[in-house]
Amino acid sequence: MAISNPSSALSITIATRESRLALWQAEHVKALLQDLGHRVELLGMTTLGDQILDRSLSKVGGKGLFVKELEVALDEGRADIAVHSLKDVPMDLPAGFALACVMEREDPRDAWVSPGCATLAELPEGAVVGTSSLRRLVLLRAALDALGRSDVRIEPLRGNLDTRLRKLDEGQYHAIVLASAGLKRLGLGERIRHIFEPTDSLPAAGQGALGIEVRADRSDLVDALKPLVHMPTWLRVAAERTVSRAMGGSCSMPLAAYAEWTGGDAGQLVLRSAWGDPEGALSLVQVSDQADVQTLEQAEALGQRVAQALRAAGARPPAAGA
Ligand SMILES: NCc1[nH]cc(CCC(=O)O)c1CC(=O)O
């Protein structure tokens, strides 16, 4: 797949976090760009998000925690591109930065990992389930309520993938719920006992997709990254991320947004979204809509409509400053 015109080969430095998952993702992009004839190296960095992983992230400060330091490296010219889990990337990038590429999505679904229980229904009386997101918390709570399992406790679970699995293995939880994509990328897919269908645990906006960020003035990089773009994924995540932005867009919000094509990678785009009250006082709000989508603008329009429907059904963005 080497490029036909060697003079357009670039030297590209990838800024990346140093968690095992982030490094896997950066190495993956590096290999693809090398196949295209570019020279590629990695610049590993620690972000604020990595430093506070063991505290409650949702209390500390929302999206962007994992991307800021990488953007500084791009801005200062120490790196050329940053590879991100799109789920962690704010919809509105700071001025001067652009999303140059969205790659083909890995499995977007949530995974159930448990040494002892194959499903929710097998949890023993008073069991503890760990999860790191308010979205998973409200969806799990709804699923447990439907099973009449008010005895099961859902507890916060922090840390990178290895830390979370260790806490499970130490017996702090009977089961944990986390993204399939991360487990599969790290070769930990055999730990998955059950994969939730989107109808049971609707994924977060962008889950399972990788995005590549550049400085907005680097059209050379936008061109170089074109072969890595997967437009069917980009349209899906654009619709999802629009819902998230329209609802106030922080990871401290219990919001799911997930889009799927009705016919494989084309046709109508069906966008489903769910919002739950973390205090459990209001019942789960679930809406969906669909449209013929061919452009990012059409995807965003669908996202706007779904966000309006969510609000009309009682979902509300987090209070300012909360
Ligand atoms: N919030 C952290 C995060 N960001 C991306 C992934 C998984 C990989 C992906 O969604 O692409 C995870 C771990 C998780 O939610 O369990």
46-59: burial string, b at 16+ Cβ within 10 Å, e else: ebebbeebeeebbe
Residue from 53, 87, 137 to probe ligand 1 pocket by mutation (most atoms less than 8 Å from CB): 87
Q: Which residue has the higher pLDDT, 46 or 39?
A: 39
Q: Residue 253 Cα, ligand 1 centroid: separation in angstroms?
A: 15
Task: Name the token pair of 301.
Answer: 């329009």
How many other C-beta atoms are found inside a 10 Å radius of the C-beta of residue 30? 19
Atom of ligand 1 nearest to the CA of 206: 10
For residues 224 and 312, give the distance between their C-alpha atoms in angstroms, rounded to a whole number: 43
- Is the CB of 181 within 6 Å of ligand 1? yes
- Edge to edge, the sheet with strand 11-17 lists 39-45, 11-17, 81-85, 210-215, 97-102
For residues 111 and 201, give the distance between their C-alpha atoms in angstroms, rounded to a whole number: 9
Residue from 17, 19, 21, 168 to probe ligand 1 pocket by mutation (most atoms less than 8 Å from CB): 21
Question: Which residue of the set 35, 75, 88, 223 is catalytic?
Answer: 88
Assembly ipTM: 0.94
Q: Residue 1 Cα, ligand 1 centroid: separation in angstroms?
A: 30
* 241-259: pLDDT as tens digits: 999 999 987 667 899 999 9
**Burial (CB count within 10 angstroms: exposed 0-12, middle 13-18, buried 19+), residue 289:** middle
CA-based radius of gyration for the chain: 20
* 281-311: pLDDT as tens digits: 788 999 999 999 999 999 999 999 999 999 9
220 is catalytic: no
Give yes or no for a contact between 180 and 134, defined as CB atoms under 8 angstroms apart. no
Identify the band that residue 59 occupies on the pLDDT scale cut at 50, 70 and 90. very low
User: pLDDT value at position 76?
Assistant: 95
- Is the CB of 131 within 6 Å of ligand 1? no
- Is the CB of 179 within 6 Å of ligand 1? yes
User: What structural domains and CATH numbers belong to the chain?
Assistant: 1-104+208-229 (3.40.190.10), 110-195 (3.40.190.10), 230-315 (3.30.160.40)
